[in-house]
Structure 1
Amino acid sequence: MTTSEAFHLDLAAAEVYEKRFVPAVFAEWADVLVDEAPVASGQRVLDVGCGTGIAARRAADIAGPSYVTGLDINEAMLTVAARTAPGITWVQGDAGTLPFADGEFDVVLCQMALMFFPDPLAAVREMRRVTSAGGTIASVVPARLEDQPAYGAFVKLVGRHAGTQAMSLLDAYWAWGDTGRMRRLFSEAGLTIKNLHPRTGTARYTSAADFVSAEVESTPLMNRVSLEQYAQIREGAEEVLRPFTDRHGAVAVPLQALLVVALK
């Protein structure tokens, strides 16, 4: 795979994802996405590619849990999501063939997942189909790797040690980070773009080792590197993340993303 990669995790990795990745990275972007949409009380909300459900949970805080549905193809992610927020409806399904009726939702969210869909255009068209007339689709994806000073250095480090299989996954993370490409995608899906702009957040970790653990152990990358390669990546990360490390060893990594809000 080149531009898209399946993001499948077992239950142990999904637990690590919720424990480490969500508070370090995704909680911030969930708040941004819900605010940008924006989600309002009583709206019917769908979170596509919900993972362990942080964007759905943030939406539920506003709309109400009974109004929110989260969908993901990964059973392990949904197991963690359902345990964390049992009041939300969790559905296993494919973003390219959403199992919902036309116009069933007022707002559709997609946080940091679009780049993993095998057919992003089919997925966005499906999001449009299940959105009500005048409804909103809001999505966020990582910006281009060249716009990521810390992640760029980390990806180069992984590339030196891990080889092509690992790099195909890492390349997929940044594949949709081009403004023009995102604009064409949403326009081709028949949507009217209301807002499309970059925004920089901060991923926060207690140490460089904590950063590497989250980036590797809670993603499919763990299955694409050997223990020796993982040890080399951990050792090298101390150096490449030094410019983003404070005197106490905590790491604050800038993460630029593209936000798009579109109307049906």
Structure 2
Amino acid sequence: MVTETFRITREQAELYEERFVPALFRNWVDPVLDGAGVRTGQRVLDVACGTGVVARNAADRVGGTGSVIGLDVNPAMLEVARNVRPELDWRTGDAADLPFDDDDFDVVTCQAALMFFPDPTAALREMARVTRPGGVVAVQVFSALPKQPAYGPWIAMVAEHAGPGATQMLGTYWVHGDADALRARCADAGLRVTAVQEHIRPAYFASVEAMVLTEVNSTPLADRLKPSELQRILAESAPILGHFRTGDHLEIPLAGHVLVATPT
């Protein structure tokens, strides 16, 4: 069973590394690696590694006596990852059928990717399988929308103009935000949760308009909004998001948690 079905182009992967990694995903690397306790000499697998920001930072932590593998289903992501750190081990593979032996890794990480898996329980079960007894699985997800200080009220406003379907279209990131539900899913997958660590980390945008257009254009909402509706959304976004401006950029707080577990 394939859990990851989408494909992206090399151009999209380069854009991801250039913009989204420094603006968002790099800010969650330390919570993931600290939560997992990654240290010198360990063998680490990063599942759905994208362009490799977690894997390459893990490699710096484990040093020459450790090893890190970054795995992703998207060849374009891995091409960019290899371009950034060609000396690391990048593999093509699916999270629901990891191409590794049982008990192969000390640590398995998965940053901001669980929501893209059609069968997240199968992916968690595979992470548990390849982690040695006493090893650690660390999964980072974003908190539920009501706990998001910026995105919560902003998406509610968008739905007033675009209809309730907008909440679903803008809702991918929040689908695993219920920590209790994720605990139960982990139990079904053969993982015992030892900690749920809550964090708030920033996402950076050049302006309110840049944030709004980034979010709208990355979803089907872009094709459904009338120009007049988009203009109203842009106008009403300013009072909701403007107070998150810091200096010459927008600093949007994102709530999330890192779930730390060990195989049962």
The TM-score, its normalising length taken from structure 2, stands at: 0.86
Q: State which of 222, 226, 244 in structure 2 corresponds to 1:225.
A: 222
What's 2:13 paired with?
14
1:36-55 equivalences in 2 (<5 Å): 36-55=35-54
Write out per-residue CA displacement over residues 19-40 of structure 1, whole angstroms, 9 at most, x where no aligned residue. Answer: 1111121112111111111111
Distance 1:228 1:146, change over 3 A: same
Secondary structure of the residue aligned to 1:86 is coil
Distance 1:257 1:108, change over 3 A: same
Q: What's the CA shift for 1:92?
A: 1.8
Percent identity (aligned): 44
Q: What's the CA shift for 1:81?
A: 1.3
What's 1:99 paired with?
99
What's 1:133 paired with?
133
Write out per-residue CA displacement over residues 139-160 of structure 1, whole angstroms, 9 at most, x where no aligned residue. Answer: 1100000000211233235545
Measure, in 1, the Cα distance between the counterparts of 2:87 and 2:37: 21
CA RMSD of aligned residues (A): 2.6
Distance 1:76 1:242, change over 3 A: same
Post-superposition, which runs of at least 4 consecutive aligned residues in structure 1 deviate over 4 A? 4-7, 160-167, 227-231, 233-236
Q: Structure 1 stretch 154-163 or stretch 183-192: which is displaced more?
A: 154-163
What's 2:170 paired with?
170
On the 8 A contact 2:156/2:167 being kept in 1, the answer is no
Write out per-residue CA displacement over residues 63-109 of structure 1, whole angstroms, 9 at most, x where no aligned residue. Answer: 13771111112222222111111122112221111111111111000
On the 8 A contact 1:52/1:81 being kept in 2, the answer is yes
Give unpaired runs (5+ residues) of structure 1: none
Q: Is the radius of gyration larger for structure 1 or structure 2?
A: 2
Residue 28 (1) aligns with residue 39 (2): no
Distance 1:234 1:83, change over 3 A: farther
What's 2:211 paired with?
211
Measure, in 2, the Cα distance between the counterparts of 1:159 and 1:147: 17
What's 1:155 paired with?
155
Q: What's the CA shift for 1:255?
A: 0.7
What's 1:243 paired with?
243
Write out per-residue CA displacement over residues 140-185 of structure 1, whole angstroms, 9 at most, x where no aligned residue. Answer: 1000000002112332355456667765442221111111111111
Secondary structure of the residue aligned to 2:170 is helix
Distance 1:216 1:224, change over 3 A: closer
Tell me how many residue pairs correspond in the alignment. Answer: 257
The TM-score, its normalising length taken from structure 1, stands at: 0.86
Q: Structure 1 stretch 43-52 or stretch 155-164: which is displaced more?
A: 155-164
Amino acid at match of 1:114: L
Measure, in 1, the Cα distance between the counterparts of 2:234 and 2:9: 22
Q: What's the CA shift for 1:216?
A: 5.3
Amino acid at match of 1:109: T
Write out per-residue CA displacement over residues 110-131 of structure 1, whole angstroms, 9 at most, x where no aligned residue. Answer: 0011111111110000001111
Measure, in 2, the Cα distance between the counterparts of 1:185 and 1:100: 22
On the 8 A contact 1:166/1:225 being kept in 2, the answer is no
Amino acid at match of 1:85: R
Give unpaired runs (5+ residues) of structure 2: none
Q: Structure 1 stretch 53-62 or stretch 79-88: which is displaced more?
A: 79-88
